[in-house]
Structure 1
């Protein structure tokens, strides 16, 4: 008999209605085999047909209406307005990828026509473009039950590239995942596509996920979650007989550097904005600022005092799961146990809740931070560590000693930013997105966005999990040499029947 589990309301601890099955190893195997079989057909779909399919998925998700939002609210504790916005982001990125593949230039077509008269040797006809990798395994995230889950950015970008997908639903929101999965399957059927284009499996343990990673039909992995989970998946993938790429976004503490002059001018308002960013969504965004670096000054002292006051007045809200709440509480306790790290401020609002994480600010000095690498580790939740530097050189030393992060921010006046150009140069080597005078929470879904960064923020700093460039994770280049015109893909034919931009003999042309 198959094992079942139920979702838990994180705000109350209540067990929610609905039984969900733990997928067996055989079911995972069958899903991967079906995805491989469907890939033979799906990979050949035109950009226009893939675009129509992605748009149909978006329409089917919208058609779920309030039922989807209400179930996600019960399973995550996230407020309905937040979930409404996240649904908009989810269908928006599906439609953005639809526009992208319909236009078609993403395949990066490159054509070097034959030069039979070239001396001392002739050049053969060479044509290159990106093609899809194959079936992709995708892991839903806990903190975005829609936008980074079953129909999230990894699924959208993989389907846009021409890959089929096997998605492991996150066990924290199985009902939400099931609803979205049914919407995608409906879109598959309505589009006349093979059933294996989209496969959904689930379970609470690691066995289901590892069965996907280790299946020989799977050619890449997309993951958003903890460092421990992402690293375990990466290690398993590279140990396969055929190693495969893992694009794991594993978290970040997103340091924010506040320069002295701007704190003198705007320190009080910045302190409130900083606390708002730290505690947004109970601190359960991968871009919440977990570190603030402040130069010791009058402006810096006022900033810290105001931040302490702001955190005291911040109301705790439910975290996504009891497990995440417990990990957060342990993480704050661990930081507070480091010598010369103190609790600078904590929420004084009492809430009778099941998994409400207490907003907390801690502080330490630059020298302690530099000597204690563990202080840089992400504590997933509404806390942040304020690092106080005595000098400009100490601020630079803190930056130099940072590991890889998704983002880094520098707040400063125009004059200060020029003066601290060396700080920006250091941080450029540490992150995927460098921000001036703006907090990192909030990730625009666009062509230019990079949501990635050097290890340990991700397993591959060359990639992004947000924005249209995410499609390249699931494609590879193929060169066609001396092919007859009739056998070439439309993207590479001499007459350019698709009208896409191509690199023709070293020059961009359409």
Structure 2
């Protein structure tokens, strides 16, 4: 889900608050397997070009007003992406090293998202229509009130690096914004510019084929372009997936504009896991194997990677670590999304491993000139009970590493949990009897994890985010900067605002709010749900 920390930290933080450079640099596609440039794709956008892109998108708003046309756009975009799958997957693999199998699945997810939002648009429930007729008998009396939601306007989307499709140009932010009726200007991620150009051309072609202005979707490149985008007065909201530093800089810029705008940023997440003593005793080997697979999946480059585990000290926990050691040792070295991420990972794990009391049963780090190897670190949970140098272990380290803190009491578990930041996910591994209530503690631990995350799992692993209506991909800061979700159909709510009409003549009302309901949208009238 989002699922990557941006490589643009330094440049984006440096750029916020400064004027964009007059001259722009070429945009190169780079092979992460070798670190060598593949081809020049584009030029970084100037401030004037960003302005033109935003104004073009703003002018295209009216064309998106018709819901039937919006749904057609989303479906046509999905069809064209499927038709171009060979070229899209080839380009994405060349720029990310994620592999054709993974990217084939990601493309399927991307087109499924587009089609799911088309169905949402067709149904119309997202408009959240309420009608309350005049009621003079109430105290105080009610006037005639009719409420629904309208699109915000131009949305800026900042692509993620580790999902070049599902969280990039044609991804969930773009799909949900278009579904809401908002034109989109995407700031391409520097790790996959060629893939971004290809996908943008497909979406623009889809727009043209359904009779829309192609400027309902526009692409810009460059760090300074991203800063100009968040500043532009016609941009009304933004979606971001990336690092804490880069995302926070843009979030602050969005908040300090003359007219502040919503900034829906997904930043960093530790995704804690708590393994009860009973669970370790019951299935230590199964938990160890599952943890190894989840923390090393995709070379540890999922934002839902379980990066911190509370496991019991003693024999059951020892068996879990023995299995984890064996499983991680069989993991092949992998290529990260770019060499800057690789260098940050190697440096980050070295700094953590050097802390007193920290052991590395399987040492993570450099696996070769262009690869990294998976591993994990362990320490007594008591070292995390109070503020100190070990707090570094409570920060996300992007890549194939997790930290296992060994606890000796329930108080240590609750003490460490109380010091954790906000997360996308939190996972509880319990024994069967704890799930039935025959053993105490399960409900209390679930309650302790709930304030920490947007998605709480029991006896599962957080990598893998279903694109479902009930999904919540977002959590307390720094996991995200808002309470919304970036995955699932309710992601559309980020790009809408409610408006009420009071005592308005029927002929002047939007069709969705008229008594005869000509567009047949679901709504609640005088407290009763219709359709």
Fold conserved (TM > 0.5)? yes
The correspondence for 2:510, drawn from 489, 496, 508, is: 489
**What stretches of structure 1 move > 4 A for 4+ residues in a row?**
350-353
For the Cα contact (< 8 Å) 2:205–2:214, is it kept in 1? Answer: no
| Mapped pair 1:114 → 2:121 | no
Q: Which moved more, 1:388-397 or 1:333-342?
A: 333-342
- How far did residue 402 of structure 1 move? 1.5
The correspondence for 2:150, drawn from 112, 131, 134, is: 131
Distance in 2, Cα, partners of 1:431 & 1:226: 18
Give 1:397's aligned residue: 415
The correspondence for 1:370, drawn from 385, 399, 417, is: 385
- How far did residue 393 of structure 1 move? 1.7
The correspondence for 2:341, drawn from 296, 300, 324, is: 324
Distance in 2, Cα, partners of 1:119 & 1:263: 60
Give 2:11's aligned residue: none
Give 2:500's aligned residue: 479
The correspondence for 1:415, drawn from 433, 436, 439, is: 433
Give 1:168's aligned residue: 187
- How far did residue 114 of structure 1 move? 0.9
Distance in 1, Cα, partners of 2:369 & 2:449: 39
Distance in 1, Cα, partners of 2:205 & 2:360: 51
For the Cα contact (< 8 Å) 1:311–1:347, is it kept in 2? Answer: no
- How far did residue 338 of structure 1 move? 2.2
Distance in 2, Cα, partners of 1:494 & 1:330: 64
Gaps of 5+ in 1: none
The correspondence for 2:36, drawn from 8, 11, 14, is: 14
| Mapped pair 1:177 → 2:192 | no
| Mapped pair 1:240 → 2:261 | no
SS of the residue aligned with 1:19? strand
- How far did residue 370 of structure 1 move? 3.0
Distance in 1, Cα, partners of 2:364 & 2:128: 52
For the Cα contact (< 8 Å) 1:316–1:347, is it kept in 2? Answer: no
For the Cα contact (< 8 Å) 1:284–1:381, is it kept in 2? Answer: yes
For the Cα contact (< 8 Å) 1:295–1:392, is it kept in 2? Answer: no
Gaps of 5+ in 2: 1-22
Matched residue count: 502
Distance in 2, Cα, partners of 1:281 & 1:156: 24
Written as runs of structure 1 = structure 2, the 5 A alignment for 1:55-204 is 55-115=75-135, 117-118=136-137, 120-203=139-222
Q: Which moved more, 1:430-439 or 1:399-408?
A: 399-408
Distance in 2, Cα, partners of 1:139 & 1:448: 24
Q: Which moved more, 1:497-506 or 1:312-321?
A: 497-506
Distance in 1, Cα, partners of 2:129 & 2:217: 28
For the Cα contact (< 8 Å) 2:427–2:460, is it kept in 1? Answer: yes
Distance in 2, Cα, partners of 1:464 & 1:65: 27
Distance in 1, Cα, partners of 2:384 & 2:267: 22
SS of the residue aligned with 2:318? helix
Distance in 2, Cα, partners of 1:111 & 1:13: 59
- How far did residue 195 of structure 1 move? 2.9
SS of the residue aligned with 1:429? helix
Normalising by structure 2, report the TM-score: 0.92
- How far did residue 507 of structure 1 move? 2.5
The correspondence for 1:503, drawn from 517, 524, 529, is: 524
For the Cα contact (< 8 Å) 2:364–2:400, is it kept in 1? Answer: no
Distance in 1, Cα, partners of 2:36 & 2:169: 24
Distance in 2, Cα, partners of 1:344 & 1:97: 46
- How far did residue 400 of structure 1 move? 2.1
Give 1:211's aligned residue: 228
For the Cα contact (< 8 Å) 1:135–1:163, is it kept in 2? Answer: yes
Deviations 1:193-231 (A, max 9, x none): 12321111012xx31111000000000010001111110
- How far did residue 347 of structure 1 move? 6.2
Give 2:20's aligned residue: none
The correspondence for 1:286, drawn from 283, 303, 308, is: 303
Deviations 1:105-145 (A, max 9, x none): 11110111112x32554321000011100100000100000
Give 2:17's aligned residue: none
Q: Which moved more, 1:133-142 or 1:308-317?
A: 308-317
Q: Which moved more, 1:283-292 or 1:121-130?
A: 121-130
Give 2:356's aligned residue: 339
The correspondence for 1:360, drawn from 375, 378, 391, is: 375
| Mapped pair 1:470 → 2:491 | yes
SS of the residue aligned with 1:314? coil
For the Cα contact (< 8 Å) 2:169–2:196, is it kept in 1? Answer: yes
Normalising by structure 1, report the TM-score: 0.96
SS of the residue aligned with 1:176? helix
SS of the residue aligned with 2:372? coil
